[in-house]
Amino acid sequence: MGIVEKMATRFAKGSVDNRSIQAARDAYYRRLARNVVARHVAAERSAYEDRNVLEQIIIPFILSRFEPETVLDIGREPSEAFYNEIFEDRELWTLDWDAQRARFGAPDHITDSAANLTNHFAEDYFDFVLMNGVFGWGLNDRDAIERAFAAVHVILNPRGIFVLGWNDTPDLVPVPLDQVQSLKRFTPYHFEPLGGTSFLCDTCRHTYSFYVK
Ligand SMILES: C[S@@+](CC[C@H](N)C(=O)[O-])C[C@H]1O[C@@H](n2cnc3c(N)ncnc32)[C@H](O)[C@@H]1O
Over residues 187-212, the pLDDT tens digits come to 999 999 999 999 999 999 999 999 99
Give the torsion through C-alpha atoms of 187, 190, 191, 192, to 10 deg: -160
32-60 pLDDT per residue, tens: 999 999 999 988 899 999 999 999 999 99
User: Distance from the CA of 138 to the center of ligand 1, in angstroms?
Assistant: 6
Ligand 1 nearest-atom number relative to CA 148: 19
In the chain, which ranges are E strands? Answer: 70-74, 91-96, 108-111, 126-132, 156-167, 187-188, 198-200, 206-212
Residue nearest to atom 3 of ligand 1 (CA): 133
Contact 208, 54 (CB under 8 A): yes
- Domains in the chain, start-ordered, CATH in brackets? 68-212 (3.40.50.150)
Ligand 1 nearest-atom number relative to CA 133: 3
CA gap 147, 117 in Å, rounded: 9
pLDDT score for 15: 62
> Torsions phi, psi of 135, nearest 5?
-60, 120
To test the pocket of ligand 1, the residue of 49, 137, 204 to mutate (highest count of ligand atoms within 8 Å of its CB) is 137
User: Distance from the CA of 12 to the center of ligand 1, in angstroms?
Assistant: 44
Q: Which residues contact 141 (CB under 8 A, 6 or more apart)?
A: 174
Give the pLDDT band (50/70/90) at residue 3: low
Mean pLDDT of the chain: 94
To test the pocket of ligand 1, the residue of 134, 146, 164 to mutate (highest count of ligand atoms within 8 Å of its CB) is 134
Over 70: is that where the pLDDT of 24 sits?
A: yes
Residues with CB under 6 A from ligand 1: 75-77, 80, 96-98, 101, 113-114, 132-134, 137-139, 144
Give Cα separations from 56 to 46, 51, 142 (angstroms).
11, 8, 32
Give Cα separations from 200 to 45, 48, 110, 133 (angstroms).
16, 9, 30, 14
User: Distance from the CA of 131 to the center of ligand 1, in angstroms?
Assistant: 8
170-184 pLDDT per residue, tens: 999 999 999 999 999
In 75-155, which ranges are E strands? Answer: 91-96, 108-111, 126-132
pLDDT score for 88: 94
pLDDT score for 50: 96
To test the pocket of ligand 1, the residue of 59, 97, 128, 147 to mutate (highest count of ligand atoms within 8 Å of its CB) is 97
Residue nearest to atom 8 of ligand 1 (CA): 132
Specify the pTM.
0.93
